[in-house]
A and B are shown apart, each in its own frame.
Chain A
Amino acid sequence: MGLKIFSLMKQVPVANEMRMGSDGLMDRTKAKSIINVDCTFGLEQGLQIKKSVPDAELYVVSMGPPSFEQSLKKAISMGYDHAVILSDKRLGGSDTFATGLALATMLKSKLISQDPNDKFIIFAGRQTSDGDTAHVPSQVGENLGIPQATFVEKVEYQGDHLQVVRMIEGGHQTIDIPIPCIISVAPTAIHARRPSLVGAINAREAKVTMYGLDDIGLETTFIGLNGSPTVVSNVVDIEHTRQKVVMLDGETPSDKVNNLSKIFSNAVQTAKSSAKEKTEIKPTEKANEFPIVDFRKGASGILTWVEMTGGQISKSSLEILNPARRLADELGTKVISVLIGDNVASFANQVIGHGADEVVVVNDERLKEYSILPFTSTIAQVVKEKKPEIALFGATTSGRELAPRLGSRVKAGVTADCTSLKIGTYVNKRLKSTFSPVLESIRPTYGESKLATIIGFWCPQMATARPGTFESLPFDNERKGIVTEFTPNLTDADFISKIVNTERKEVGGQALFTADVIVSGGKPCGDLDNFQGIRDLVDALKEQGIKAEWGASRQAVDRGFAPYARQVGQTGKTVRPKIYIAVGISGAIQHVSGIKESGKIIAINIEKKANIFNAVDYGIIGDYVKVMPELIKMVKNGYTFGLKKSEDIK
């Protein structure tokens, strides 16, 4: 039997050179292109399999213009054997649904052997830097009818199956997943190897196999701009404004620090991102030119999925009840929440109290822990019965894989990681129609530099919402709703992946991406107390229920005061916490470039001329040894920089 590895790869423009045309589609002509960074992790996992299966054949697979050849060849220089690309003008404008379908069709018709003894594994990156959706792996998996695992950090080949470790909210899960399968790899997995010279020589000779739609026998019904269930209707720039630094003065360190309590008072929720909408690329069009079309065809209701994590309703599931409620009121319809688990009926009241009208409870001991296949089947059956017009999910590691897989199954488009949801109208000049009402799903994209509005035309209109952007509605004891039971029809095929182990606890540097507060130290913090003050402040914040993490400047990492995983800046991590506190950091441009998208930045430095003060909102001139204890004391007394405590962490 032969094993084939297919690694899905996309070529993208270098992040800071990215431009988008006024049509909302990428203008790839100007920027230098590279392999999408997340995809390199998928490529590496493919190469890792070769260690267990030396004669595995490695294919790098892509969809895009012929100019992708450069990146396909790069994959060969890393060690891939073959390169294949689906390239056809008619594919232009395809959304993730269409992309997933097209890739799957090519794999099925051209690459996957008909012989059942031949096995294959598909690897993919988590998401692309020019789309950020993370949908395609789920959609390819669904179209091929194979199991999947996403956000995977470790892969072990164990013969007829893979044992993978995937990130889940607040921890990790180990899953045995049978081959064939599709695995999307997290950027915390093994870093991609560099090309070897021998590989580069092979790449020079290698021929890239190119297929068009006709070769793979795919009709244009479901692909390209017209076949895609979603379109980008509007794009605006996000401007990150940072005013000149405000220095916090005072006689003593304690006076200086106490100023903070006036700025980020605990009483109000502040520290929203300083993002501001700048230019409207597309002027809003007149809505009444064309006849109004209601494409819902009787679909109604807003469905949400209530995710259970560790025996609790996940915070983000309560959050999405807020926009769901608002949208339902606007449309005059109801919120239907699906609650799946083992013995979860008792949670229904909580869901109603936070905004639902109806809770569909699915009780099954096999559904105690979330798992993609049975959950997709279950919700798909609920969707079929309830015919909602909109379906919303928290953009957790589960929601972000479940929604697109479900979308492919029920034929609906999904918008990922939204920060705003509205009801609006959409004018389509070509079809001479005004679609109304439509769900406008608004999300940051292109490395948080733009806000895109995305519209779906097939019901349910699906979206995942970024955790932390919506506030859950206060629990209302009085709210009334109905609770119904639902028994889905699940087969053995839904349970072919086995959860081996689920472990929830925060880990290392990865947490920097999700922390609300990051306290970073520079070299002096290492010299003076080996980062104790930094860590103490973080611990104090955690005790207050704040998602806090500590980071370090490169100088500090170079000197061994912190592991590289915690390095913040150009060569480390780019972070976006609500509050960033830079302590004893000189403010090298390299560091600043990695923190500039943070909500508010506070710098503490003994040098009043330190460069860091040119790049932050608030500055405290003072000695680390004296300032930190004051700050820690304040936090211990309950001060949290105006941030709400998060229930998710303990």
Chain B
Amino acid sequence: MKKQIIETDVLIIGGGPAGLATAIHLADLMMKNVESNGESAPVKLPYKIMLLEKGGEIGNHSISGAIINPIALKELLPEISISDMPFESEVKKDEVHYLSESGKITSPFTPPYFGNHGNYLASLGKVTKWLAGIAEKKGIQIYAGFNGSEVLYENDKVIGVRSGASGIDKHGNPMENYQPATDVLAKIVIFAEGSRGSLSKTVINKFQLAKEKNPQIYSLGVKEVWEVPEGNIEEGYVAHTLGYPVDSTQFGGGFIYGLRKNMVAIGFAVGLDYADPTFDTHHAFQIFKKHPFVAKFLKGGKIVRYGAKTIPEGGYYSIPKLYADNMMIVGDTGGLVAMPSLKGIHLGMKSGMLAAQTALSALQNKNSSAQQLSMYEKLFNDSYIKTELYPVRNFRQAFEGNLYTGMLKFGAQLITGGRGFGSEKLSVKEDYKHYRPLKSFNDNTFMNKMKDELSFDKITTFDKEMDIFYSGTNHDEEQPSHIQIVSTETCQTCLEEFGAPCQRFCPADVFEIVEDTKSNKKSLTLHPSNCVHCKTCDIKDPYQNVIWNTPYGGDGPEYGTM
């Protein structure tokens, strides 16, 4: 069977808040001048909008905090009142704590850019599912369970995206149930893949869209949702923490949110610019949960869901050029996250709305050249995305390597409107370049320091294996590994130099170093079916020896309520 080809006007890759807002706004703009016939569905749009989402259902791969700044949702859906949006609660209490090993210091005021007044707690999965329902009614074709596996080019221009074949064995041979790929040709492709999109990465490289920009840097956020006894936490309660169990060389902290019906969202995010190859974000999160301040919220409760995801936090200077011929980039995969508040949902949605506006005029002008699409950049610069990101443009860079000097530098930035004392643009280096050789730590590593803390009782703290179970992740075992190792020889070098940090940075136990009992030779074994699609391996491998590709559409975690 041959591959199949279909066509659309606009193709959106990714059904997160950014992709869905793009689709909804585009449909709304298209229909603005079209007389409604009074019936709600199904609407026939003048231009076809198609959205592909690799998760089996919209929301399956959505994971966030989340505290949502409702500004973009209000703008996107002006006819819907806040009380009809699927939020958990308004933020009612907003605390920031610095945790020491056993105690806490509470910040008497909410530090600048941390405030959450007027924001809403939500499960992103519920929000995206709800948005998808709205989008479907507007005549947008949403295909969940289908990945964008490859970008299609013609004359060095994007012309569409391939949704991958399936029914291929581990070695890449087609099996009897082979299902060929579908090529979707589109006038405009909009990449909304979320953090470190696998297709966005290739177009950014191919068209050098990140030239002269800071490299993107990331945090890894790991999160659990809990159901706890009545009284443990109030609905609308928000706490952010700094400090324990990460040390002052690291940028990271925890969050605890009180949701409806005694549900708690709890998580920990750490900048991936750490140097210690033994550092393990999942384990740090588990240790965090043992801290008395944190443990009290979970006492007597039970875990419901687990997940992990990276967050791009390089800020303004790490944003690549967001368009090229026939394509635009929106949301996290373009690095549109505001720091230090760690908010990307509203910015992602807003960027999608701007891209939608741009796309419609391109379609109407029958011209989707880079020049035509540069309208997106103009709209962007006039929008609140820029106003939010620009003043904190040097925020994250300041924290590279040290929390305390970071705070001082950030203080200076606050006074100077973001510039700080020094050069206008603080540079950063890629996260993977921060490792120091294992030997240089003289055993003073995270793993050694935390030795006594690394037992997990399987009641409040879990090993990765158990947590993965709660992510609901599932992958067809019969498929080529979607996690690609460039060179196994490099693994040997890495083992000697860094002790294979892949075992630690991966929050889902995809990488395992196995020792042959006879030869004592160590080698890497992959468990790609554990993967929760966080993309950390693609970012933090010291030799960039790991490439994350999309597995079969529909595979991966089943978050729903994360």
Q: Which residues of A contact B (CB under 8 A)?
A: 44, 47-48, 78-79, 190-198, 200-201, 204, 523, 527-528, 554-555, 558-559, 564, 567, 571, 586, 588-590, 611
- The reply on B445 being an interface residue by CB < 8 A is no
A193-B166, A200-B143 known; 8 other A-B pairs, CB under 8 Å?
A191-B177, A194-B552, A196-B166, A196-B181, A204-B141, A554-B529, A588-B469, A589-B469
In the bound assembly, the distance between CA atoms of A200 and B53 in angstroms comes to 13
Taking CB as reference atom, which chain B residue is nearest A557?
B477
Taking CB as reference atom, which chain A residue is nearest B184?
A197
In the bound assembly, the distance between CA atoms of A554 and B466 in angstroms comes to 14
Q: A193 with B474: in contact, given A200-B146, A527-B516, A589-B465 (CB under 8 Å)?
A: no
> Chain B interface residue count: which class?
35 or more
Contacting residues, chain A, for B514 (C-beta < 8 A): 523, 527, 559
Q: A194 with B176: in contact, given A201-B141, A527-B516, A527-B517 (CB under 8 Å)?
A: no
Q: Which residues in chain B, 514-562, are within 8 Å of chain A measured between CB atoms?
A: 514, 516-517, 525-527, 529, 552-554
Contacting residues, chain A, for B163 (C-beta < 8 A): 196-197
What DSSP secondary structure best describes chain A's contact surface?
helix
Contacting residues, chain A, for B474 (C-beta < 8 A): 571
Q: Which residues in chain B, 37-92, are within 8 Å of chain A measured between CB atoms?
A: 52
CB distance from A383 to the nearest CB of B (A): 42
Contacting residues, chain A, for B478 (C-beta < 8 A): 191, 564
- The reply on B499 being an interface residue by CB < 8 A is no
Is the Cβ of A48 less than 8 Å from the Cβ of B176?
Answer: yes
Choose from B180, B477, B517 the contact partner of A571 (Cβ within 8 Å): B477
Is the Cβ of B143 less than 8 Å from the Cβ of A589?
Answer: no
Contact with A along B149-173 (1 / 0, CB 8 A): 0000000000000010011000000
Is the Cβ of B517 less than 8 Å from the Cβ of A528?
Answer: yes
Can you offer 22 A-B residue contacts whose CB atoms are under 8 A?
A: A190-B176, A190-B177, A192-B177, A193-B166, A193-B167, A194-B476, A194-B552, A194-B554, A195-B145, A196-B163, A197-B143, A197-B182, A198-B4, A200-B145, A200-B146, A204-B141, A555-B527, A558-B527, A559-B525, A567-B477, A588-B466, A588-B469
Q: A44 with B180: in contact, given A197-B6, A589-B466 (CB under 8 Å)?
A: no
CB distance from A528 to the nearest CB of B (A): 7
- The reply on B293 being an interface residue by CB < 8 A is no
How many cross-chain pairs have Cβ atoms below 8 Å apart between A and B?
Answer: 78
- List 3 tightest A-B contacts by C-beta distance, closest first: A197-B182, A193-B177, A198-B4
Q: Which residues of B contact A (CB under 8 A)?
A: 4, 6, 52, 141, 143, 145-146, 163, 166-167, 176-182, 184, 458, 465-466, 469, 474, 476-478, 514, 516-517, 525-527, 529, 552-554
Q: A197 with B529: in contact, given A588-B465, A589-B466, A590-B469 (CB under 8 Å)?
A: no
CB distance from B167 to the nearest CB of A (A): 5
Contacting residues, chain B, for A190 (C-beta < 8 A): 176-177
Of A44, A78, A191, A198, most buried by chain B (CB within 10 Å of CB) is A198
In the bound assembly, the distance between CA atoms of A130 and B322 in angstroms comes to 51
Taking CB as reference atom, which chain B residue is nearest A529?
B517
CB distance from B395 to the nearest CB of A (A): 41
In the bound assembly, the distance between CA atoms of A555 and B527 in angstroms comes to 8
Of B4, B176, B179, most buried by chain A (CB within 10 Å of CB) is B179
Taking CB as reference atom, which chain B residue is nearest A192?
B177
Of A193, A196, A527, A555, most buried by chain B (CB within 10 Å of CB) is A196
Contacting residues, chain B, for A193 (C-beta < 8 A): 166-167, 177-179
In the bound assembly, the distance between CA atoms of A567 and B477 in angstroms comes to 11
Contacting residues, chain B, for A200 (C-beta < 8 A): 143, 145-146
Contacting residues, chain A, for B552 (C-beta < 8 A): 194
Contacting residues, chain A, for B141 (C-beta < 8 A): 201, 204
Is the Cβ of B179 less than 8 Å from the Cβ of A196?
Answer: yes
Taking CB as reference atom, which chain B residue is nearest A564?
B477
Is the Cβ of A201 less than 8 Å from the Cβ of B525?
Answer: no
Contacting residues, chain A, for B180 (C-beta < 8 A): 196
In the bound assembly, the distance between CA atoms of A44 and B184 in angstroms comes to 25
